[in-house]
With several copies, the nearest count.
Chain A
Amino acid sequence: MEHTNEMQLIFDSRSSNESFARVTVAAFMTSLNPTVEEVSDVKTAVSEAVTNAIIHGYENEIHNIHIRARTEGRTLYLEIEDEGKGIEDVKQAMEPLFTTKPELDRSGMGFSFMEAFMDSLEVMSAPGKGTTVKMEKTIGKGRRLWTTQSL
């Protein structure tokens, strides 16, 4: 079970593709045998990152969003990339409640959600070049005891 499995998805930055991206990542991670809640955590994180790429990265123009996903052992590795506007100050952007688009009713909690629902979050960005969000989540943590029992 320690083999890696990889996929890459490229799609148009339309908000109607958000659920498509979510389902694709969710379907990809099924081999890790997640619970509904673990899948839902990952979906939330994917939604937030994809929404950011659409709204902030490309400011609603239609360009490509890339998702790279890998499973290795019990861990899902995710990268969500746009080649859009980029972020001036990543540290500030990641602060809870910080948003550059308050007029759109953005909550400024996107990065905080990604951080809360995944095990790790890393944001790489360069103004004018684009943004890559890297996340990891290990599936079945704290389930080890009963997994051993039931096998």
Chain B
Amino acid sequence: SGEIKRFLRDDGMIKVSRSLKELAYKAYLCQERLQEKWGRDPTVAEIAGELGVETEELTQALDASGEIESLHKPIYQ
């Protein structure tokens, strides 16, 4: 099934819902890192800048993830 997954990915057939969840997970890790580094909450735009994505798109991803805390549970099996 790893084979099929890779093919789907390469073919651009990954579902947007999954891609948004992955982005939300990365954003969560990034937020923790920046918080530690700067001693304050980073803004959504700062996290987006760090991840190289559009702020609005990150906003959508953050919603797809539900509560940010629930991202403690890893999305990757």
Contacts and interface: CB of A to CB of B under 8 A. Distances in A.
Whether A and B touch (Cβ < 8 Å) is answered with yes
Interface of A: 19-20, 22-23, 26-27, 30, 33-40, 43, 143, 146, 149-150
Given A19-B56, A22-B56, A23-B57, A36 B63 contact: no
A119 to B, nearest CB: 17
A35 B59 contact: no
B15 interface: yes
- The majority secondary structure among interface residues of chain A is helix
B12 A37 contact: yes
Contacts of B68: 36, 40
Interface residues of B, number: 28
Contact of B59 (A26, A143, A149, A150): A26
A23 B59 contact: yes
Contact of B31 (A34, A36, A146): A36
Given A23-B63, A43-B63, A146-B13, A35 B56 contact: no
Given A23-B60, A36-B62, A30 B14 contact: no
Contacts of B70: none
Contacts of A39: 16, 44, 59, 62
A146 B40 contact: yes
A35 B60 contact: no
Contacts of A150: 4, 8
A93 B44 CA distance: 34
A61 B44 CA distance: 29
B63 A34 contact: no
Highest count of chain B CB atoms <10 Å: which of A20, A36, A39, A143: A36
